[in-house]
Amino acid sequence: MAPRTRNLASDPDRPSFLEELYQGRFRWDLIHPFPEQRPEDRERGDAAVASVGALLRERIDPVEVDADGALPDGFLAELAERGYLRMQAGPDVGGHGLSSYNTFRVIEEAASWCFPVAVLLGIENALGAGAFLPVLPPGPLADRVRAHVLAGGLSGSADTEPEGAANQGRGTTATVVEDGAAYLLNGRKIQVVNAPTGGLFSVTASVQGPDGTERNRLFFVDADTPGVRRTGPQELMGMRGLPFGGLDLDDVRVPAELALAEPDPEHSSRLTPAVSLLVVRGRLYIIAAPSLATAKLCLSWARDFAARRSVDGRGLGEYEEIRRRLAESRAEVFALESTARWSLLGEDNGTDVNLKFEQNASKNICSILGWRVVERTLSMLGGEGYENARSKRDRQAPPHAVERAFRDVRGLRITGGVDFLLDHWSASRTLLSYYYPEPDHADGLAAEQAPPAGFGDDHALSARNLEHLTFVREQVHRFGRDCLELTRRHPDRAGLAAKQRLMILLNRTATELLTMSLTLARAASTSTSGDQEVQDLADVYCAAARARLAALRHRRAQEEDEEGAGSAAAAADRLAAAFNHQPTTNGTTDGTTGAGR
């Protein structure tokens, strides 16, 4: 019998850098040397990137798409016909057989021109019907999905419900009928990409077992099945043009062979095991690639603005604060790209390292880094950043779509799970799993840790970055010791997990340490040896990260100390309780006027 894993991402046969970090162990040997894309794979990716870029520039006006809220007629069918909705699938189903990182690069290229197209490509390639082919066993379900993919049909993932996406269970139900030959699905799904036009959808639903327990299962539902009704379209604050809507299911009969047969999960999850596996890597396509593309665009817009603007006769780029802000954006683009490369290239290159932890963490890391760059750019450009691209184009100013980037990238901090909620889940469900029961390496955490032999003997890093590397190693060990001491003070795991703000701060500490580590590992790679610009990028990023880590540590100490009736946390709880119980009149809370509604 295989050993029981502590959580969904753990693999007892393969080490993970972030999993080791959670336990206070800094495994530099797992991330250095940093992976590089193989030359032949890069050539294939270059061709795909060029092809998609040319198509988008020929067929898409991103300003018009944003204004109209729709992609050109026939464009989605053209994407399907060219195989871009199944880029990693083989030629046998019309795919391109691209590696994970090349798929990421193609989506990044699409986002640099038209953000909603990139998100659609990310969702189709991560969660569309074709993405399931590698995990489907031979049989009627695999045949149905393959036929749909070969026909070039659009698909989508129907998981979110009006009650929200964070619930462990699903309100949509699947009832066994006809002595197990079929299921009847009833429920309502919202925020489904391709709901207006898609033909085959994966639908999550709750099934009651013989023992009365419920579990989520996945069903593949044809949109033209009796009882399926499309709703919407739904309009988003950003990503305008992305086809979005809902599905109402009323006694929809689904043959049993179109239900994905999966073993009972070892660990509880709101998603089925197959969907969880796809979502982990898929977030890099849906979230990280558009974040990186937009951050790079904003950096170029900011540099252009600084080069052509002056204040009181002095070039904008000559001012210290502008130079610092440009440097911070460049460093964050470098860190974002380093995170994405590590999370995908190791898998492509066949390295024996478990990347699920990093792939899961990349959602928050990349969307927040992208957001920082966009927000910094908007502030730097001032009124020209707040003005929309169409207005700037009409007055013959550079039509940099900063306002569109602001709306689009902010949505990525919500897409795939709201950032603070994912932080809480990661800490309470994954991080704590290494400290309950008390770990075998507790004695090692309590003692000071000496650096491993040869640590730091890497001349590709500058002196400052070697100092950052030593700092990270020490902080990882300290983090593990902090977690151990914290869990010893709180023997009840559920009680500690309920301290949501503390859990969020713990996970953000871990992801800061992870991002610093990956940034330094990339800077230390042989391909960047002696490159002063790369060393400066890593230095700037790590210096800022160290300041954030100090603030996080201070806030964690406050959360630990403030548990009495006179604490700020108690005051916040009293305010929340009072606010929730205030009566409302005409939709406004007592004490407000509602003016301007």
Residues 232 and 254 in one domain: yes
In this structure, which amino acid lies at residue 111?
A: A
124 shares a domain with 45: yes
**Cα–Cα nearest to 117, from 243, 11, 296:** 243
> Which residues, at least 6 apart from 261, have a Cβ–Cβ distance to it below 8 Å?
137
- Residue 65: inside a domain: yes
Q: What value does the mean pLDDT of the chain take?
A: 90
Number of structural domains the chain divides into: 2
Q: How confident is the model at residue 208 (pLDDT cuts 50, 70, 90)?
A: confident
Is pLDDT of 505 > 50? Answer: yes
Q: How far apart are CA 369 and CA 550, in angstroms?
A: 18
Residues 130 and 44 in one domain: yes
Phi and psi torsions of 298, nearest 5°:
-65, -40
* pLDDT of res. 6: 74
Locate 124 and state its tokens.
């189709």
Q: How far is residue 85's CA from residue 118's CA, in Å, rounded to a whole number?
A: 11
* pLDDT number for residue 225: 97
Q: Is residue 192 part of a domain?
A: yes
Q: Are residues 124 and 204 in the same domain?
A: no
SS3 193: strand
Residues 167 and 130 in one domain: no
Give a yes or no: residue 597 inside a domain.
no
Could you report the per-residue pLDDT of 346-369, keeping only the tens digit for each? Answer: 889 988 999 999 999 999 999 999
Q: Residues 185, 122: one domain?
A: no
For the cut 60, the answer to whether the pLDDT of residue 585 exceeds it is no
Query: Are residues 142 and 52 both part of a single domain?
Result: yes
Q: Name the residue range of residue 52's domain.
A: 39-148
Percent of the chain surpassing pLDDT 90: 73
**Residue 417 binned pLDDT confidence (cut-offs 50, 70, 90):** confident
Domain end (from 268, 285, 318):
268
Q: Are residue 49 and residue 67 in the same domain, yes or no?
A: yes
If asked whether residues 227 and 255 sit together in one domain, one would say: yes
Supply the CATH number for residue 174's domain.
2.40.110.10
Predicted model pTM: 0.92
Tell which of 230, 249, 268 closes a domain.
268
Q: Is 497 left (phi over 0), alpha (psi -120 to 50) or beta?
A: alpha
475: number of Cβ within 10 Å: 21
Residues 88 and 178 in one domain: no
Residue 131 domain flag: yes
Q: 548: part of which helix (H) or strand (E)? A: helix 532-561
Is 449 inside a domain boundary?
Answer: no
Residue with tokens 């550079």: 398
pLDDT of residue 405: 96
Are 206 and 189 in the same domain?
Answer: yes
> Would you place residue 590 in the very low, low, confident or very high pLDDT band (cuts 50, 70, 90)?
very low
Q: Using omega within 30 degrees of 0 as the cis cutoff, is the peptide bond preceding 33 cis?
A: yes
Across residues 13-39, what is the average pLDDT? 95
- What does the pLDDT average to over 466-493? 96
Q: Which of 530, 424, 416 minimizes the C-alpha distance to 122?
A: 416
Query: For the domain that residue 138 is a member of, what is the CATH number?
Result: 1.10.540.10
pLDDT above 90 (res 342): yes
Last residue of a domain, one of 116, 148, 180: 148
For residue 442, pLDDT over 50 is answered with: yes
Output DSSP code: residue 454. T
Encoding tokens for residue 40? Answer: 């032949």
Confidence of residue 587 (pLDDT cuts 50, 70, 90): low
Beta strands in 107-154 (DSSP E): none
Domain presence at residue 466? no
Q: Is residue 85 in some structural domain? A: yes
**Least confident residue range of 128-142, 460-474, 551-565:** 551-565
Indicate the pLDDT class of residue 444, thresholds 50, 70 and 90. confident
Find the mean pLDDT for residues 455-466: 82
pLDDT tens digits along 101-141: 999 999 999 999 999 999 999 999 998 988 888 888 899 99
Q: Based on the fold, state whether residues 55 and 143 are members of the same structural domain.
A: yes
Assign 312 to helix, strand or coil. Answer: coil
> How confident is residue 571, by pLDDT bands cut at 50, 70 and 90?
confident
CB neighbourhood size of 439 (10 A)? 18
Task: Specify the pLDDT at position 226.
Answer: 97
The residues near 4 (Cβ < 8 Å, ≥ 6 apart) are 266
Is residue 62 a part of any domain in this protein? yes
